Structure 1
Amino acid sequence: MVTPLKTLMGFSVHLNVQLKFYNLPDVDNIKDLQLKSIFINKLNILFSYDIKVDFECRQEIKTPAHLDTFDLVRIIGIVLDNAIEESRLLGASAYVQMALYQTEGVLEIMLKNRCRHEKVELAQIENAGYSTKAGHYGVGLTIVREIVSDYNNIFIEYTSAKHEFTFEMKIVLEER
């Protein structure tokens, strides 16, 4: 049975998530609706778990014409899902940083999150079956590698140090 108090509590949680989201006007700089929607969805999930978020996209971002937007959305979704899962395990010390920049023919997307491990084994993270999380299949970053292999203009770098994991993707927008 839904009581008025439960209804009010649910509304308060929803309103709190909305208020946090409204403090991120940079999302409006993402012009591709599919790309914007994956960021909105993942930001809402992060806010619903009360995970600290820093999102930056100070300039207008357009998806490259030669890139399948679905591939880009899949990559972002996988990496952010990993960050969300890790953040939920960390609790109060968790945070996720996201930044999108477009400069001189290159779109850069950076995602960073705090992690339980001092340093993640970068040589293994793209291997099928490898996971830092118990009970997981370790296919996410393998899928990212497979998607990226279809393009000669996407470059991905992973770094890990001091309990932080960073994903950086550079997409060359045009031939130079």
Structure 2
Amino acid sequence: MEAEIAQLKEYSDYLDKNEDELRNFKHDYQDILNGLRISAEEGNIKAVVQQLAKYTDSQVDDKSLRKYQDVNHIHVDELKSIAITKLAKLYNEQFPYSFGCNVEIYRIPQSVNILDIVRIIGITFNNAIEESRKFSDKSNAKVDAMYYQEDGNFEFKIRNKIVNDTKLSTNILSKEGYSTKKNHAGIGLANIKRIESKYEECMLINYGIEDGWFTFDLEIMPDNENMEEE
């Protein structure tokens, strides 16, 4: 709990810091352009472009800006918290990753306990991180995840690169007690299947291994009542 609180505080500080930096950068950029106008008018366009590129690289940390990309669109605290926690883990372990949420999510279907959704998201992120650690070169690992919502549903998708020698079927992976991690009591998919069995009418889960990727899709069907922003 203390670690999660610390990560949420870090996220808040991150937003404040980057908002100020981007505002200052935007404010200064016009002055920079004015300062380079003479060089441009004299035809030295190449030098102008090089100076702008150098200044931009020195002022904007692109990787840092992408650390929590799109998390600001999530307005359900539990979903935001688990995303921040796992993205921070990926960032700190220096694995390539992406996260997307291009719609504002204020409310999710009430037919599924939010803690079960968080548990599923946590398990799949943990599995992706565990698999990524198997790569001798971290740059060969990759994790892509996203939240999405349309017509009152909720969708979570995640995929991760798998090492070349991972040739296990998802049927084996989801068996009770099976794990690719030594002394580990199950890879987590068995736990997900147990959760899914409680919500057969409103939860859809698909996962599989193809072309070097493990993919996992979760969809919670919409409630009958209309969504309302909180």
- TM-score interval (norm. to shorter): 0.7 to 0.9
Residues 1:167 and 2:216 are matched in the alignment: yes
Aligned to 1:100: 147
Q: TM-score, normalised by structure 1?
A: 0.82
Deviations 1:81-100 (A, max 9, x none): 01011111113211100011
* Higher share in helix: 2
Q: What is the rounded CA distance, in whole Å, between the counterparts of 2:159 and 2:124 in structure 1?
A: 10
Identity %: 36
Q: How far does residue 64 in structure 1 lie from its aligned partner after superposition?
A: 1.8
Give 3-state SS (helix, strand or coil) of 1:65's partner.
coil
Unaligned runs of 5+ in 2: 1-9, 15-60, 226-230
Aligned to 2:114: 69
* Higher share in strand: 1
Q: What is the rounded CA distance, in whole Å, between the counterparts of 2:162 and 2:94 in structure 1?
A: 16
Unaligned runs of 5+ in 1: 1-13
Q: Which has the larger radius of gyration?
A: 2
RMSD: 2.0
Q: How far does residue 131 in structure 1 lie from its aligned partner after superposition?
A: 1.9
Q: What is the rounded CA distance, in whole Å, between the counterparts of 1:97 and 1:139 in structure 2?
A: 19
**Retained in 2: the 8 A contact 1:94–1:114?**
yes
**Retained in 1: the 8 A contact 2:146–2:158?**
yes
Q: What is the rounded CA distance, in whole Å, between the counterparts of 1:118 and 1:143 in structure 2?
A: 21
Q: What is the rounded CA distance, in whole Å, between the counterparts of 1:154 and 1:94 in structure 2?
A: 29
Aligned to 2:72: 28
| Distance of aligned partners of 1:21 and 1:60 in 2 relative to their CA distance in 1, 3 Å threshold | farther
Aligned to 2:192: 144
Q: What is the rounded CA distance, in whole Å, between the counterparts of 2:146 and 2:187 in structure 1?
A: 24
Q: For 1:57, which of 81, 97, 101 is the aligned residue?
A: 101
Q: TM-score, normalised by structure 2?
A: 0.64
Q: For 1:47, which of 79, 88, 91 is the aligned residue?
A: 91
Q: What is the rounded CA distance, in whole Å, between the counterparts of 1:154 and 1:119 in structure 2?
A: 28
Q: How far does residue 119 in structure 1 lie from its aligned partner after superposition?
A: 4.2
The farther-off stretch of 125-134 and 66-75 is 125-134
The AA in structure 1 aligned to 2:181 is: K
Task: Kindly report structure 1 stretches of 4+ aligned residues shifted beyond 6 Å.
Answer: none
| Distance of aligned partners of 1:21 and 1:35 in 2 relative to their CA distance in 1, 3 Å threshold | farther
**Retained in 1: the 8 A contact 2:177–2:186?**
yes
Q: What is the rounded CA distance, in whole Å, between the counterparts of 1:101 and 1:147 in structure 2?
A: 21
